[in-house]
């Protein structure tokens, strides 16, 4: 593709995306295709000769769009919706255009330095403790996802509690333990599996029956038992805004107990953490000054398209100690001088995209004011939805809902709750998902999309009420 062709098709693609946003409400939120429908329309073999780009764009409309669940749709209330925005998409396009591999500072100094800088900016915007800033022993990095953040936090924790031995010796079964509540995202169990500890190393903390927050006394009990049996507590993961219900663990208490035995405290604030950009949600950071690492996802609720997990450590030496291997072919003067950050030592892959560009574009386009407005809008709409649920006796709210996630169910029971969800999702008018709390089915209603307005929330509520089975 010549630069002229790129210019021409690039304009078409940008127009296509802009048109897509303008017509997004004409699509069913949840894709209505059956398994295999999309592949059945694709040729069995790749093309022998190159094709015009128009052919691809035509297939995008004809073949691909029907198989898309519209994560950017204003009536998408499932999981945590995508948070793509114009500036983020354009920032990402620039990163693709530059095609930079920022694995070492020397492979593109601007990629590393901008990433360090925007993560310092973000830490300031969120009111995170000074210990996470790059000016001291800590610092931030963009990970693909909160799952990667949990994994590297675990590897750093193992490095620290083993005095650097786990990198050479591996982890013997039954030697280390990890603690988190049953509300915590499954990525922590996955991290245990990937790190070779196995899922049996994971201890599930009991939660308070009302707030669903982890009980610190249970952590103390489990740690004491493990220590008595010769098992080393390696990592405690506190959730600030757990996936299913949004529960918030008492970070301060959990961190204090973790540190008594030398365990690492990681805070997973994947969805909720970015809300701290607004002063009234700074309470989310309570105790975070005691955390060894912290992550939050601008791709979940801060107008940045996937992938963008902001991850900070208080002491980068443990992380680098766990992950750094320096083969001869990567040696260079800047690394040897120890004067720079080489982000390859802060995450799993060697190569890394220039993701800081999109976050930079978002922070500059919206400014702190625009970001706060976005968070407040989501919270305001979710609170309005919660009031509507509370006003109808057939429904009940389930967990505390201070932010943009509301959990609720039908008093009539699980079957009726699921029936309502299945009906509204099949209609294509909205999309929401469920979880189980205390053995009972619960629906989740999440408002994080910048496209969602009051009319979408009211329409969703009307659809939910209309879907309640008679009797
Ligand atoms: N942690 C929490 C609290 C989450 O809500 C999620 C996803 O919803 C994750 C971790 C995993 O997210 P990611 O896709 O960034 O790995």
pLDDT per position as a tens digit, 309-324:
999 999 999 999 999 9
Q: Say if domain 100-353 classifies as CATH 3.40.640.10.
A: yes
271 Cβ closer than 6 Å to some ligand 1 atom: yes
Ligand 1 pocket check for 185: Cβ under 6 Å: yes
By alpha-carbon position, which residue is closest to atom 4 of ligand 1? 243
Mean pLDDT of 371-388: 98
CA-to-CA dists, residue 123 to 41, 118, 131, 448, angstroms: 47, 8, 10, 21
Sorted by where each begins, the domain ranges of the chain are 1-30+69-85+367-471, 100-353
Task: Say whether pLDDT at 81 is over 90.
Answer: no
Q: What is the mean pLDDT of residues 330-344?
A: 92
Distance 184 CA to ligand 1 centre (A): 9
- In which band, very low, low, confident or very high, does the pLDDT at 52 lie, cut at 50, 70 and 90? very high
Instruction: For ligand 1, say whether the CB of 180 is within 6 Å of any of its atoms.
Output: no
Is the C-beta atom of 176 inside 6 A of ligand 1?
no
Strand, coil or helix: 468: coil
Categorize the per-residue pLDDT at 470 as very low, low, confident or very high, splitting at 50, 70 and 90. Answer: confident
Which pair of structure tokens corresponds to residue 320? 């680098």
On the question of pLDDT at 344 being above 90, the answer is yes
Residue 143 beta carbon below 6 angstroms from any ligand 1 atom: no
90 pLDDT band, cuts 50/70/90, is: very high
Does residue 405 contact residue 243 with C-beta atoms inside 8 Å? no
Extract the tokens encoding 43: 């040729």
CA 297: distance to chain centroid?
Answer: 4
Taking all residues of the chain, what is their mean pLDDT, rounded to a whole number?
96
Is residue 274 lining ligand 1, measured as CB closer than 6 Å? no
* Range 1-30+69-85+367-471 has CATH code 3.90.1150.10: yes
Could you give the angle at which helices 454-466 and 414-427 cross, rounded to 10 degrees? 130
Contact 159, 322 (CB under 8 A): yes
- Distance from the CA of 438 to the center of ligand 1, in angstroms? 21
Q: Is 297 in the pocket of ligand 1 (CB under 6 A)?
A: yes
Torsion of CA 409, 70, 374, 148, to 10 degrees: 90
Section 213-225 average pLDDT: 97
Please give the pLDDT value at position 82. Answer: 85
Over residues 121-148, the mean pLDDT reads 97
For residue 383, pLDDT over 90 is answered with: yes
User: Cα(183) to centroid of ligand 1, in Å?
Assistant: 12
pLDDT value of position 172: 83
Closest Cα to residue 442, out of 246, 260, 286? 246
With a cut of 80, say whether residue 471 has pLDDT above it: no
Q: What whole-number percentage of the chain has pLDDT above 70? A: 100
Tokens of 208: 């308070």
With a 6 Å cutoff on the Cβ, whether 344 touches ligand 1 is no
Looking at residue 293, its pLDDT comes to 98
173: confidence class by pLDDT, cuts 50, 70, 90: confident
| pLDDT category of residue 190 using cuts at 50, 70 and 90 | very high
The predicted model gives 95-100 an average pLDDT of 96
Using only C-alpha atoms, what is the Rg of the chain?
Answer: 23
Compute the distance from residue 79 Cα to the ligand 1 centre, in Å: 10
Which residue, by CA, sits nearest to atom 7 of ligand 1?
A: 243
Q: Strand 176-181 to strand 232-239: parallel, antiparallel, or no bridges (unpaired)?
A: parallel
Q: Which of 81, 145, 269, 284 to mutate to test the pocket of ligand 1 (most atoms within 8 A of CB)?
A: 145
For ligand 1, atom 9, the nearest C-alpha belongs to 146
């Amino acid at each position: 593709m010549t630069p002229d062709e790129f210019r021409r098709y690039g304009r078409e693609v940008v127009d296509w995306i802009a048109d897509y946003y303008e017509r997004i409400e004409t699509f069913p939120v949840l894709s209505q295709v059956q398994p295999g429908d999309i592949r059945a329309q694709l040729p069995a073999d790749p093309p022998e000769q190159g094709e015009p780009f128009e052919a691809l764009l035509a297939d995008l409309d004809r073949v691909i769009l029907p198989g898309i669940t519209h994560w950017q749709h204003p009536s998408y209330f499932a999981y945590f919706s995508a948070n793509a925005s114009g500036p983020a998409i354009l920032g990402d396009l620039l990163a693709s255009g530059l095609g930079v591999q920022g694995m070492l500072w020397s492979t593109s100094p601007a990629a590393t330095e901008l990433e360090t800088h925007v993560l310092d900016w973000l830490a300031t915007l969120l009111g995170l403790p000074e210990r996470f800033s790059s000016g001291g022993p800590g610092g931030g990095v963009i990970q693909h996802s909160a799952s990667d953040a949990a994994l590297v936090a675990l590897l750093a924790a193992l490095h620290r509690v083993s005095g650097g031995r786990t990198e050479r010796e591996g982890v013997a079964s039954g030697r280390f333990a990890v603690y988190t509540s049953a509300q915590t995202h499954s990525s922590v169990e996955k991290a245990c599996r990937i790190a070779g500890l196995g899922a049996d190393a994971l201890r599930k903390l009991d939660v308070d029956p009302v707030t669903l927050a982890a009980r610190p006394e249970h952590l103390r009990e489990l740690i004491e038992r493990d220590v008595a049996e010769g098992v080393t507590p390696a990592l405690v993961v506190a959730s600030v805004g757990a996936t299913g219900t949004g529960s918030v663990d008492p970070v301060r208490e959990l961190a204090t107990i973790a540190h008594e035995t030398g365990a690492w405290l990681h805070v997973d604030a994947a969805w909720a953490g970015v809300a701290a950009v607004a002063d009234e949600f700074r309470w989310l950071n309570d105790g975070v000054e005691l955390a060894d690492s912290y992550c939050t996802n601008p791709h979940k609720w801060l107008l940045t398209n996937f992938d963008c997990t902001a991850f900070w450590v208080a002491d980068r030496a443990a992380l680098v100690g766990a992950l750094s291997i320096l083969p001869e072919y990567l040696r260079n003067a800047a690394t040897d001088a120890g004067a720079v950050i080489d982000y390859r030592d802060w995450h799993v892959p060697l190569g890394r995209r220039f993701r800081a560009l999109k976050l930079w574009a978002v922070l500059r386009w919206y400014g702190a004011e625009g970001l706060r407005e976005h968070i407040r809008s989501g919270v305001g709409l979710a609170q309005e939805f919660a009031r509507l649920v509370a006003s109808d006796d057939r429904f009940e709210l389930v967990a505390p809902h201070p932010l943009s996630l509301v959990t609720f169910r039908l008093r009539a029971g699980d079957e009726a709750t699921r029936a309502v969800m299945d009906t509204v999702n099949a209609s294509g008018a909205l999309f929401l998902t469920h979880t189980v709390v205390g053995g009972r089915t619960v629906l989740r209603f999440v408002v994080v999309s910048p496209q969602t307005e009051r009319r979408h929330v009211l329409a969703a509520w009307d659809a939910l009420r209309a879907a309640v089975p008679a009797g």
